[in-house]
Chain A
Amino acid sequence: MKRAMLLLRRRAISSIPVLLIVVVFTFLLLESASGDAVDAYLVSIGGGDAQLVQSLRQSYGLDQGMATRLWLYFSALLRLDLGWSVAFDRPVLGLILERLPNTLLLMGSATALSFCLGSLLGIFAGARPDSFRDRFLSIGSLLLYAIPGFWLGLVLVIVFAVNLRWLPTSGIETIASGKQGLARAVDIGKHLILPVSALGFIYLALFLRVMRAGMVETWRMDFVLFARSKGLSRLRIVLRHVARNALLPLVTVLGLQSAAMLGGSVVIESVFALPGFGRLAQEAVNGRDAPLPVGIIILRAVSGILVNLGVDIAYAFLHPRVGASEAGA
């Protein structure tokens, strides 16, 4: 526990400059894009005269210099105010909170699916390296990994929603159905099957390959030889010794994936008309709405830092050597 607390303290201190860099860099990156929020808005309404343009720039605060705006943004951020989205004409925090559940549901299920299925198949493949089933799974997962997400999504829609009509084509739940409680949960579940499969099958390959590689590595270790010579059953060696040791890199990848997942998936969210972070960020960038993408990125950075911390703590439990130096310091 002491090691975990020390880790926590060190991470908290080191994450402040990271966040600062992330905010400034994102802000400047968006500034460097040609055109501003007023240009983007004018396209959507079919143009306006010079006075309208001027009054819009004024009301968006775009008539002030970049340094002023960055300063205003920072001072608001210190008050934990994520700012106002001009593209949506709403507070950024509200938009983010509105999309967060959908994003977590979609990306969380997809990550969980790919992690569980991927690691199981990885164990299955890695249990007998270079066997037929290992080759088959390795090549199969590579093929899956090579398929573009949008294509897989569209094909799944055509087969299961348009032709077979087993599942809905898109959306997060049936529109204005009035469903409550369990019925609503089932409905949302049905809507998530296709997008989660499309996303999950692609990440699955990642977990499968990391798990399999870890296991192949572990088979060569001396302690495995020892376990064998001790006369342990193969199943016991695979599960208790090889797979458990191969789990460490998998936890790292899971951490990376979990941090990345908060960005949502522009492609899958668009194909399946799911309102998540990916689409929100894309619309915000198209609308040159700086506070919104910066807000999303801050959220991602914070969650990235937290997930990393979680991974380190998990490491400490899985592997006694990690963090030992800090405990001694």
Chain B
Amino acid sequence: MIRIQNLSRNFGNLKAVDNISFDIKDTEILGFLGPNGAGKTTTLRMLVGYLQPSGGSIELDGKSIFADPLAASSQIGYLPEQNPLYDDMSVSEALAYFGALRSMSKAVFKARKEFVVANCGLAEVLNQRIGTLSKGYRQRVGLAQAILHDPRILILDEPTSGLDPNQIMEIRDLIRTLGKEKMLILSSHIMQEVQALCDRVVIINKGKIIVDDQKENLGNYLENSEVLHLEVEGEGIEFGAFAEQYAGLELQSEAVDERHCILKLKQPKGMDLRQDVSRYINEKGWLILEMRVEKQSLEQIFHRLTGEDNSVHFTAPQTDENIEEQQ
């Protein structure tokens, strides 16, 4: 297991990682979440020994990874954020190169190559130059490189970025399979991904850990209210009187044009207003064009906890929801 204690890293005056501590158990899939610039990549770079910490320690099975970096790095498979690869080499050559640098024997390399080629879907591009590959294939090559030596610990920095929904599905399946027998640390700013894959979630913001909990417990961090979205058509739409009947109900309305109105009713958790609302609208003779209760997800927890920042880039939610439905 990996034990991180009081880990810090400064860049000049900027505290990129500020005194964080957490453990990662064997065969655990840890989701490492945070907005861009939160310190995810810096932490992962320290974990793989690429960056020296300014303070604190990282211990692998009780030994500092900086005591014997070569031994530590031979147990780690790493997919860096930008997924750097040698564009001039073919996929096959690159795998052979990494295999050789990892001192793999011919027989072992052959078996592992077969495994990664089959599992990362690289068979048809094996002799193609990496520079000519699409982003999805590049990502798979990066992942193949990371798992080539069958590492005990797998550190993936945003592994599914730039992939199409089908590829994301495949890579997630692969990650899930790998996670059964490996310690896996997955950094992401895509909430659904973490929700779909991880056992435990660490959310980091501005270099500090703000949540470290099992995925199931994350519900506790939810806001104590839900939002009912309404789109109504009709003459003289007015919900003020309706809202006053309920304690704790907040109303936000926005008229699209004379006959259309979009409303947001923020209701305390547990209150279900749908029936009352539809009856009320019925009485007034209006029409409901849309009514839905916004489900609270990890995404909102994330939003709420990491607060005001607008640096968060979310992938198109529809796409990811579709993926979840397919699953």
**Do they bind each other?**
no
**Which residues of chain A have a CB within 8 Å of any CB of chain B?**
none
Interface residues of B (CB under 8 A from A): none
